[in-house]
Amino acid sequence: MAQILIHEVGPRDGLQVEAQVVPTEVKLGWLERLIGSGIDIVQVGSFVHPQKVPQMADTDELFRRLTATPRGGAVLSGLVLNEKGLERGLACGVEMYCMGVSASATHSRKNTGMDPADATRRIIETALEARRAGREVQVSVQSAFGCGFEGAVPEERVMGIVAAYLDAGLTAISLADTAGHAYPTQVAAYVRHILVMEPTAKVTAHIHNTYGVGMANVYAALDAGASSIEASVGGLGGCPFTKVAAGNVATEDFVHALHRAGQRTDIQLDVLVGVARDVAAFFGRELPGCVHRTGAITAKAPA
């Protein structure tokens, strides 16, 4: 595998389902450590209505404060659902825009109030506007591997959305396992399908661990040619508009596995573990991830 990019989504996908709102100063502390850990991209938050997702009410302020002075470290990404979200993001310094369409009609209506066809047109227009503003854009297909409400989602429906993205010149594409229904052979087949459609596409896998096969799906995606993985510190997360909201693959677990293979040793695993432990202490419960509880294996396994 070539260099694997890691996109930390804990501050957004990890926190959005939590009822206990995290104070802005606490979030900033976690974000600054994640940004400096060697992770490639950190998703600061989403531009959604604060009454629908109270945990994201301070997203604009977080971006303003994080971009107020020059800094190194990770690219800062933000999730937008529509043109209004893009306007807010442009005003506060988002560096990479993430936006997507659900392949499930039920999930799409719950999440955006639109059916997938209308949502696809709107997201493509918004993505192109972000590109014209000189910003990096990643587009996603949510519920790509199945839906908690509808069950199986036809592959042709997923690839139809992907084809619309590619036709618009949008080649950074994330396949999101929103409901956690993915299984390894399916993930590999979908990634390969996209790379046949467009060999230069940059494919990301956003994997939830709802049914315990998250890490297997991550490696299936990488083996098939995905170049980026989205994960969440501590394994926090889940979409509040799906049927069973469950956590993501834990960032520190994935990085630990990479370190065991001598990969991405530039990422500071101890920082990720420390943040995961602090998040667990804040919420006063055990998180789904493993390595922040077990500790890391420090020596590389023999070949």
Yes or no: say if 258 and 4 are a contact pair by the CB < 8 Å rule: yes
Strands (E), the chain: 5-8, 41-47, 75-80, 96-102, 136-142, 172-176, 202-206, 228-231
Residue of 92, 98, 147, 239 with catalytic role: 239
Rounded distance, CA 5 to CA 206, Å?
12
Q: If you write DSSP's letter for every residue of 113-176 in order, what string do you get?
A: SS-HHHHHHHHHHHHHHHHHTT-EEEEEEETTT-BTTTB---HHHHHHHHHHHHHTT--EEEEE
Residue 154's contacts (CB-CB under 8 Å, 6 or more residues apart) are none
Rg of the chain over all Cα atoms, to the nearest angstrom: 18
Yes or no: say if 187 and 215 are a contact pair by the CB < 8 Å rule: no
Q: Is 92 among the residues known to form the active site?
A: no
Q: Let me know how long the chain is.
A: 303
Closest alpha carbon to 173 in 163, 183, 182:
163
Contacts 24+ apart (CB under 8 A), 109-117: 110/149, 110/241, 110/242, 111/81, 111/142, 111/239, 111/241, 112/81, 112/82, 116/157, 116/161
Yes or no: say if 173 and 194 are a contact pair by the CB < 8 Å rule: yes
What residues are labeled active site? 239
